[in-house]
Amino acid sequence: MTFGPTWNNLRDNVDALQSDAILVTPLSRKAFSIEDVQEHRVLIQYRDDDETIPLQKDQFETLYERVSDARGEFDVDRLPPDAEPYATVLSLHPRFEVDDRAGTLTESDQSTGSPLVEAQSGSEELDETEREEPDLDVYADALLLIDALERHDLTTLEAVDTPALVNIYTLLSDVQRNANDLRTDVRSVLLDRLHHDQPVSGQFGSVQRTTRRNRSLKDDELVLNAFEAAGIERERLTTVDSSKVDDALAVTDLSETDVYDIEPSEYVRKADVDEQEKETRLQGLKDQLEATEGDEADELRNEIEALEDRIAELTEFRSGRSFHESSAGG
C-alpha cells in the first residue's frame, strides 16, 4: 500500500485539530502545537521556543515503513530525540496509536486515538473545569516542602542556616506522616483489586499482593508443656521468648503451629519503580510550570504564599522576652 492515502488522511486529521491544541512528545513529554499543515509538511512549534520546525512528508513515510517492518509495533525509543514529534503527529491518524507507557507506536484497525493531545485550552470542557485544591493534608505540606526546597540549596546541609533546616525538617516529617496515612487508605482499596502474584502496573511502577505471616507466642504454660513433652526441660525456657523458642524448635520435631498462633495478613508491597519515567514526568511538570502564565500561575503562587504564611504563624518561635514585651505593650 502506498503512503499517499495515509498522508492525505493524516493531513485531514491534523488540520481538524483545534488551533490551540497542545501535543506532547511520547518520551521527553515536550509540549508543542501545530502551526500549519501544508502539502508536503506539517509545521510545529515547541512551547518554549519561537522557532517553527517543519516535519517533512518523506520522514513520515520513513516512520510509516519502520512501523510496517516492525509488524505493526515500533519501539518509540528507537527514534532520534528530534524525531519524537513525528510519532505524536502520526498517532493522529485513525490507524496509528502511541502507547506512551509501553513506549510503542502501533498500527491497528482498532486504534483508540492519541493520548498525546494533552490539552485544548479553548475547549468548552476545560473552560467548565476549574482547578481545585485537593482536600488532603499531604497536598498542602507537599506544596510548602517544594517551595522550601526550591529556595534553599541542600547539596551542602552544613551551609544551610538553622531556621531553614528546622522548617524543612518539620515539613519532611509532616509530609511523611500524612503520606503514610494516605498510603494506608490507598493500600486498603488496592487489596480488593489485586490478585496474588499478579503485578499491576501504573505509569511510575507496579505493585502486587503478597501474604505476610504474623507469629505470636501462645500462652506460656501451653508452650512450656509442649516443649516438655518433646523432651526440652522447663529450666531451658524459664521465660518464653521467640529467640529461645526458635532455637528449641530447631532441635525438636515440634512444628511452628504447636507453639505459635500464626495469622496470615495481606498487604501491598512496592514491586518496582520506574525512576526514568518519574524523572521524565517531573521534567515535564517543571516545563509546564515555567510556561504557565496569567491568572492560573498567579493563583498557584498566591496559594503557596498563603499556605506558607499560615504555617509560619502556627510554628513561629517567640522567646519569653518577646512575649512579655508584646504583653506589656498590649
Is pLDDT above 90 for 60? yes
Residue carrying C-alpha cell 482499596? 189
Tell me how far apart the alpha carbons of residues 235 and 232 are, in angstroms, rounded to a whole number. Answer: 8
pLDDT at 182: 92
Domain count across the chain: 3
Query: Which 8-state DSSP code applies to residue 252?
Result: S
pLDDT category at 55 given cuts 50, 70, 90 is very high
Comparing 163 with 263, which gets the higher pLDDT? 163
Angle at 85 between CA 82 and CA 86, to 5 degrees: 100
Pair (18, 98) in one structural domain: yes
Of 115-119, 128-132, 244-248, 257-261, least confident by mean pLDDT is: 128-132
Q: How many CB atoms lie within 10 A of CB 158?
A: 5
* Helix, strand, coil percentages for the chain (3-state, nearest 5): 50, 20, 30
Q: How many CB atoms lie within 10 A of CB 149?
A: 13
Structural domain for 90, as ranges: 3-107
Q: How many CB atoms lie within 10 A of CB 329?
A: 6
Cβ contacts of 2 within 8 Å, gap of 6 or more: none
Is residue 301, in this structure, part of any structural domain at all?
no
Pair (16, 44) in one structural domain: yes
**Average pLDDT over all residues of the chain:** 76
Is residue 31, in this structure, part of any structural domain at all?
yes
Pair (148, 183) in one structural domain: yes
Is residue 280, in this structure, part of any structural domain at all?
no
Distances (CA, A) of 237 to 194, 250, 257, 259, 283: 42, 14, 18, 13, 60
As given in the structure block, the three cell numbers for residue 213 are 505471616
Amino acid (1-letter code) at residue 198: Q
Pair (185, 252) in one structural domain: no
Of 51-55, 91-95, 159-163, 324-328, least confident by mean pLDDT is: 324-328
Is pLDDT above 50 for 174? yes
Q: What confidence tens digit (pLDDT) does each residue in 95-140 have?
A: 888 876 777 888 877 655 566 665 444 344 434 445 566 888 888 8
Is residue 127, in this structure, part of any structural domain at all?
no
Coil vs helix vs strand at 68: helix
Taking residues 15-38, report their average pLDDT. Answer: 86
Pair (102, 169) in one structural domain: no
Gyration radius from the chain CA atoms: 30
Is residue 148, in this structure, part of any structural domain at all?
yes
pLDDT category at 267 given cuts 50, 70, 90 is low
Residue carrying C-alpha cell 493520548? 115
pLDDT at 124: 41
Is pLDDT above 70 for 251? yes
Pair (255, 219) in one structural domain: yes
Pair (15, 85) in one structural domain: yes
Pair (149, 211) in one structural domain: no
pLDDT at 169: 87
Q: How many CB atoms lie within 10 A of CB 189?
A: 10
Distances (CA, A) of 83 to 16, 17, 194: 22, 21, 38
Is residue 116, in this structure, part of any structural domain at all?
no
As given in the structure block, the three cell numbers for residue 251 are 532441635
Is residue 304, in this structure, part of any structural domain at all?
no
Q: Which pTM value belongs to this model?
A: 0.41
As given in the structure block, the three cell numbers for residue 172 are 519532611
Domain stops at, among 234, 249, 273: 273
Tell me how far apart the alpha carbons of residues 117 and 19 are, in angstroms, rounded to a whole number. Answer: 12
Pair (35, 63) in one structural domain: yes
As given in the structure block, the three cell numbers for residue 289 are 510550570
Cβ contacts of 162 within 8 Å, gap of 6 or more: none
Q: What confidence tens digit (pLDDT) does each residue in 180-201 have?
A: 999 889 888 888 777 766 677 6
pLDDT category at 90 given cuts 50, 70, 90 is very high
Domain stops at, among 251, 273, 295: 273
Is pLDDT above 70 for 261? yes
Is residue 84, in this structure, part of any structural domain at all?
yes
Taking residues 25-31, report their average pLDDT. Answer: 83
Pair (186, 214) in one structural domain: no
Closest CA to 76 of 47, 97, 52: 97
Of 124-133, 184-193, 290-299, 307-316, least confident by mean pLDDT is: 124-133
